[in-house]
Amino acid sequence: MRGTAFIRFLAIAGVVATLAAGCQSASPPAPAQSTAALPTMERVALGANACWFKSGDAAFKPYRLAPELNSFSGRPRILLVKRNSPESRPLAVVQAEGHPARLQAFGPLFNEPVGTRMATDVKRWAAGGTGC
């Protein structure tokens, strides 16, 4: 009788395991995208580099991207500076601080025709969007 009880126990354990496995989802939910300042600015920097500079976009030919993401002030930022004079005053600054990130974008380049496009792109990338 002991052998039969053990076999019955294994059968019940197998049924319980099968039922428990059926209740679990196939894959865990994707982690939510971080809205803190640094990850937000990392997304913006990657988008700006890919879409404005690596793509060869003529509107950004005169400029260079200068990321300053490792800020100890808690405000990671990216700068757009003159291509041939990177030490000069930035023409555009995009920075974020806090959690959730509060974005700021300023500088004379935002008053130029390309400024509206820049602002739209930055908002999209900050929100997690991709593409140019």
Q: Which range of residues forms the domain containing residue 72?
A: 37-126
* 92, 118 contact by CB (below 8 A): yes
**Is the residue at 92 inside a domain?**
yes
Task: Give the span between the Cα atoms of 5 and 115, in whole angstroms.
Answer: 77
Q: Is the pLDDT of residue 110 over 70?
A: yes
- pLDDT tens per residue across span 16-35: 444 444 444 454 444 456 88
d(CA 34, CA 27): 20
Most trustworthy range by pLDDT among 10-14, 40-44, 69-73, 128-132: 40-44
Per the structure, the count of domains in the chain is 1
78 assigned to some structural domain: yes
Asked if residue 68 belongs to a domain, the reply is yes
Is a pLDDT exceeding 70 seen at residue 57? yes
pLDDT tens for each residue of 76-103: 999 999 999 988 899 999 999 999 999 9
The reported pLDDT for the residue numbered 86 is 83
Of residues 56 and 24, more confidently modeled: 56
| pLDDT at residue number 73 | 80
pLDDT band at 72 (very low <50, low <70, confident <90, very high): confident
